[in-house]
Chain A
Amino acid sequence: MVGAPNYSRAPVTEAVFEFRFDGVLTLRDLERLRDRLKPRYPAVEDRRNVEVQVSSDGHIQTKASLLGYQMTSADARHVVLVQSNSFGTIRQAPYETWDELISVARANYSEFERVAGRRTFNRISTRFVNRIDIPNASLEADDVTSWFNAGTKIPAKFAGSLKNFSFSEIFGCGDGRFGALLQGGTVDPFLLNHTSVVIDIDISLERDISQHKDVLWETAEQLRAAKNDVFEEVITDRVRGLIR
Chain B
Amino acid sequence: MNALVAATASLAKNWGHDLPGQFDSRASLRDWWTSIPKQQDSLVLSGSGSSTLVTSRSPRNSLHEELFSELVKLKIAVAQYAMHLSRDTRHRIFHDLDSLLNPEDWYEEDKLPQMSSFRDFLKWTVYAKRFNWISLGISNDGHIQAAWKSDRGLLTARYTGNGRVIWTARITAEGGDDQLAGDSSLQSLERQAHFYLDSD
Contact = CB atoms under 8 A, between A and B. Distances in A.
Interface of A: 9-11, 13, 42-55, 58, 60, 62, 64, 67, 70, 72, 74-77, 92-95, 131, 133, 190-193, 243
B52 interface: yes
A69 to B, nearest CB: 9
A60 B84 contact: no
Interface size class for chain B? 35 or more
Contacts of B81: 190
Contacts of B76: 72, 76, 92
A190 B75 contact: no
Closest 5 CB pairs of A and B: A76-B75, A94-B82, A93-B82, A50-B53, A54-B3
Given A45-B56, A51-B50, A93-B83, 15 more contacts: A13-B82, A42-B68, A47-B54, A48-B56, A49-B53, A49-B55, A50-B53, A72-B72, A76-B75, A76-B78, A93-B80, A190-B81, A191-B84, A191-B126, A192-B187
Nearest to B122: A190
Contacts of B94: 75
A193 B187 contact: yes
B49 A54 contact: yes
19 contacts: A9-B83, A9-B84, A44-B59, A45-B39, A51-B50, A52-B7, A52-B10, A52-B11, A52-B50, A62-B7, A62-B14, A70-B56, A72-B72, A75-B94, A76-B76, A77-B79, A93-B80, A133-B84, A192-B186
Given A50-B53, A60-B6, A60-B7, A94 B79 contact: yes
B69 interface: yes
B39 to A, nearest CB: 7
Contact of A48 (B7, B10, B54): B54
B68 A50 contact: no
A243 B187 contact: no
Interface string B35-58: 000010100000001111111111
Given A46-B58, A48-B57, A75 B75 contact: yes
B40 to A, nearest CB: 8
A10 B85 CA distance: 12
Given A43-B69, A62-B14, A192-B124, A48 B80 contact: no
Interface of B: 3-4, 6-8, 10-11, 14, 39, 41, 49-59, 68-69, 72, 75-76, 78-84, 87, 90, 94, 123-124, 126-127, 186-187
Nearest to A47: B56
A74 B69 CA distance: 9
Contacts of B41: 47
A62 B43 CA distance: 14
Contacts of A192: 123-124, 126-127, 186-187
B80 A190 contact: yes
Given A45-B39, A77-B79, A93-B79, A190 B56 contact: no
A52 B44 CA distance: 11
Contacts of A76: 72, 75-76, 78-79
